[in-house]
Amino acid sequence: MHSSNTDLPITSTRVLVVDDESSVRLALTRYLNLLGFRATAAASGYQALEMLKREPYDAMVLDIRMPGMDGIEVMRQAHQRYPHLCIVLLTGHASLESAIAAVRSHADDYLIKPAGGRDIATAIARALQDRVPQSPPRDTVPERFVRAGPLILDRERHTVFVARSDDADRIAVPLTTSESKLLDHLMQRPDTVFCCRELAQAALGYELGDDEAQAIVRPHISRLRKKIEPDPSLPRLIRTVPGKGYYLAAG
C-alpha cells in the first residue's frame, strides 16, 4: 500500500477531508480521488467523528478553524480513539499558534492555507510513510519550532513566521536551508553577539578565517534582512555590532 516516494500519493489510502468551506472541501476531495486516494469529506468536526466511527480511515486532512468543534478538539478526540490515524492540519496565518500547539500534540504535519492539492497529497504520503513500521517517537516534536521576538521558525520546513506590528496575522516566509540554519542559531540566543567565524561554523558548517567568514555570512544576513525586516536598510531584528558581528534583537 505504501509508496517509497513522498512526491506521489499512496494508492487506495482512505482519507477524510474535514473543512467547513464547501468549495475547499469538495475541490480537495475530488483532487485526491483523481490522484488515487479514496477520499471522502465531512463538513464539520462532529460529522468527521461520526464518520470515523463508521469506517476506518488512514489519514485525515483537518481544518483548524471551524465553527462548533474546532480542529484541535477534533484531533484530540480522534487521537484518543484512533491512535494510528495520521492527521494533516490546515491552518491560516491567524491560527499559527494553534498549529504549533497541535504539532506538539502529535499532529503529523501542517500546511498554511491556501495549500495546493499536490502539497497536501505529499504531506499525507509523508505522514503515512513516517508510520511505517510503527509510529515514530514524538519526543523531539517540540524542538521543531524555535521562537524569538516576533519570529517563529519551523526548522523542518525552513519557514519563518513573522508577526508584523500592524497585522495580527503572521507572514510565512520561506528560507533556504543555509538561511534557516543561520537564523536558527541567532534565535537560540537572542541579544547575543556572534562573530562571523562562529556563525559560519555553527550555522553553516564552515571553518574559516575572519575575512572568508565575513564573505560567506554577510550575503546570508543581507538576504535574511530582505525577507524578514520591514525595512532592510534600517534593520530592527538582525543587528550589526561593528567590528564584532551580528545579533538578533528579541525585544
Tell me the backbone φ, ψ of residue 21, rounded to 5 degrees. -85, 115
Q: What are phi and psi of 237, to 5 degrees?
A: -95, -60
Q: pLDDT tens digit string along 201-248?
A: 888 888 888 888 899 899 999 999 999 998 999 999 999 999 999 999
pLDDT of residue 4: 40
C-alpha torsion angle, residues 147, 152, 154, 155 (rounded to 10): -50
Instruction: Tell whether pTM > 0.75.
Output: no
For 143-248, CATH number?
Answer: 1.10.10.10
Please state the domain extents for the chain: 14-138, 143-248
- Give the per-residue pLDDT at 137: 42
- CATH class of residue range 14-138: alpha beta
Give yes or no for a cis peptide into 114 (omega within 30° of 0).
yes
Low-confidence spans in the chain with pLDDT less than 70: 1-11, 93-99, 101-102, 104-105, 131-142, 164-169
